[in-house]
Amino acid sequence: MRTENQRAWFFVLPVLALVAFNALVPMMTVVNYSVQETFGNNQFFWEGLGWFEQILRSDRFQAALGRQFLFTFLILIIEVPLGIIVALSMPRKGFWVPVCLVLMALPMLIPWNVVGSMWNIFTLPKIGLLGYFLNDVLGINYDMTQQPISAWITVIVMDVWHWTSLVVLLCYAGLVSIPDAYYQAAKIDGASPWSVFRYIQLPKMKTVLTIAVLLRFMDSFNIYTEPFVLTGGGPGNSTTLLSIDLVKIALGQFDLGPAAAMSLIYFAITLLVSWVFYTLMTKDDAQ
Amino acid sequence: MKKRSLIPILYIAFLMLPIYWLVAMSFKTTNEILSGFSLFPQTFTLENYVTIFTDPTWYWGYINSIIYVTLNTVLSVCVALPAAYAFSRYRFLGDKQLFFWLLTNRMAPAAVFALPFFQLYSSIGLFDTYLAVALAHTLFNVPLAVWILEGFMRGIPKELDETAYVDGYSFPRFFVTIFLPNIKAGVGVAAFFCFMFSWVEMLLAKTLTAVEAKPIAAVMTRTASSAGYELGLLAAAGTLTIIPGAIVIWFVRNYIARGFAMGRV
């Protein structure tokens, strides 16, 4: 059991100082911009909550938010079940286990801009392996730069390729911690594979699965580099996710006020959903 | 049993395909790439790699990236160790809130912070230094390191601390000689994750640097746009960015499964 000790704060102080410097100062800058209007020359005018109202009402923001939720929803419903299936069918011990784990973790260690370039090269219509195969061998009309549907499928498949392994590795960690005795007991009771999954494996994976869903939600909601390098948000605006739109407004058009207001709304949404996951997770820990 | 192992094999094949294509492209000449489709390099060339290893702007990109990533890993793990100890051993005023606040920084979109970070680090004169990128990356790595280390430390029984005090160990001596060796795996895993997220993050790294500390990603984008569309060179540069990650992951392969569970299984 943990003991009450206020001096523990001293241990936390370095982390606190570092993260406060990195988080609070930029956050205050953003808050500062979000309530002001600027015409350059470092002149600022009080704007109040005007930008927030404008952003929340704008079709552009709502469309980007809609695409963002659709993207996150799609990758979650693909990656989580796929990750569980792969983890369940992995061998528990033996020579191949570390090899499998290393190969699976490899996509996660590739810089995000390289992931984008790699998928770009992979899907080029006449030159890329996938682009050539789909267009010239299967005869499917596939061109990421022209068709929104192709672009969406490519972005989704790229994310599945990039991050499903996180779910696999987390679930696998949960699975290997199940003692053999549980399986033997299930065998004696004549349990079906489904009930082994439902009553032994799934409960054991519950904590790690929550971590997986939480991490995947946060990271996919904040995704920027990979789709930006791959599609640049196009064709048109079809794959312009929230971060891409935000950077366009902030650094492209230099509309600091609206961009800051949008940042705060964006952050608040991420925070709210993550908080729901976090409370669910710690509730499980307490039991 | 045979049928079951088909799923991981297919899955790994799916993961390896784009990587294979990148590597294959890196050994092709620009002419071959543009002239059409070929599954294997027809005229095998090392020209793209030679360009990278002889041009200082290219290879300094890699060195720069490795320097700030290492700096960030050391920094993150060092400050996270005492904090994780406090969270795993003591209850104190606001501990839960503080822990959640730390995690919220993991949730902040990097795009939100790009511009304010640029202004902050410019104003304190750290713009375009390794330290700026290393410090900026602690924003998401420190919370993660605290989270992972706390999970591992919670698995060490409190009796260990108490026995050490009874034996007359001072706290620093206990921490370094007894406690740290016990959570070796945790430190390795935390360091691995810090390395990984600092290595793959490019938006902040690009925003905070110009010339001196320019990361490999910036070199890649500038080359892609300035020298036309040199796919072979781009593919070779991409292939080389996979190698450091592959080396690091090989070292932690035995802890990786547990590490991904943040020590919580």
Q: How confident is the model at residue A219 (pLDDT cuts 50, 70, 90)?
A: confident
CA distance B182 to chain A (A): 19
* Contacts made by residues B93-99, CB under 8 angstroms, sequence distance 24+: B93/A6, B93/A9, B95/A8, B98/A12, B98/A16, B99/B146
Q: How far is CA B155 from the centre of its chain?
A: 25
Q: Which of B98, B138, B238 sits opposite A117 (nearest CB)?
A: B238
Q: What is the pLDDT of residue B198?
A: 92
The answer to whether B74 faces chain A, any CB pair under 8 Å, is no
Tokens read off for A31: 């808050």
In the block, residue with structure tokens 């996710």: A241
Over residues B152-179, the mean pLDDT reads 88
Is A232 in the B-facing interface, judged by CB distances under 8 Å?
A: no
Name the average pLDDT for chain A.
Answer: 84
A90 with B92: Cβ contact below 8 A: no
Q: Which long-range contacts (CB under 8 A, 24 or more apart) does A144-147 make?
A: A144/A230, A144/A231, A144/A235, A145/A231, A145/A234, A145/A235, A146/A235, A147/A235
DSSP B198-243: HHH--HHHHHT-SSTT--HHHHHHHHHHHTS--HHHHHHHHHHHHH
Q: Judge whether B67 and B137 are in contact, CB under 8 Å.
A: no
ipTM: 0.85
pLDDT band at residue B265 using 50, 70 and 90 as cut-offs = very low
Q: Which range has the worst mean pLDDT, A173-182, B129-138, B149-158, B252-261?
A: B252-261
Q: How far apart are CA A166 and CA B247, in angstroms?
A: 18
Question: Using a CB-CB distance cutoff of 8 angstroms, which residues of chain A are in contact with residue B175?
Answer: none
**Which among A89, A111, A243 has the least Cβ separation from residue B4?**
A89
**Beta carbons of B12 and A103 less than 8 Å apart:** yes
Q: Is the pLDDT of residue B257 over 70?
A: no
Does the beta carbon of B171 lie under 8 angstroms from any beta carbon of chain A? Answer: no
Q: Give the pLDDT score at B95.
A: 82
Kindly state the average pLDDT of the residues A212-225. 87
What's the helix, strand, coil split of chain A in %, to 5?
75, 5, 20
Write down the pLDDT at residue B3: 66
Map out the domains of chain B with their CATH numbers.
1-45 (no CATH), 54-260 (1.10.3720.10)
Q: Is B2 helix (H, G, I), strand (E, B) or coil?
A: coil
Q: Is A84 within 8 Å of chain B by CB?
A: no
Residue of A nearest to B23 (CA): A118
Q: CB contact, 8 Å: B11 with chain A?
A: yes
* A60-286 CATH: 1.10.3720.10
Structural Rg of chain B based on CA atoms: 22
Query: To the nearest whole number, what is the mean pLDDT of chain B?
Result: 84
Q: Region A88-95: what's the mean pLDDT?
A: 83
> Domain extents for chain A?
60-286
pTM for the full predicted model:
0.87
pLDDT above 90 coverage of chain B, percent: 21
Q: What is the pLDDT of residues B168-195, one digit of tens each?
A: 888 889 999 989 998 888 898 889 889 9
> Which of A29, A30, A111 lies closest to B199 in CB terms?
A111
Compare CB distances from A30 to B116, B221, B242 and report the shortest one's residue.
B116
Work out the pLDDT band at A282, boundaries 50, 70, 90.
Answer: low
What confidence tens digit (pLDDT) does each residue in B94-110 have?
888 888 888 888 777 77
Per-residue pLDDT at A287: 47
Residue in the structure block whose two tokens are 């300094």: B60
- The 3-state secondary structure of A224-282 reads CHHHHHHHCCCCCCCCCCHHHHHHHHHHHCCCHHHHHHHHHHHHHHHHHHHHHHHHHHH
Kindly list the residues from chain B whose CB atom is less than 8 angstroms away from the CB atom of residue A104. 11-12, 15
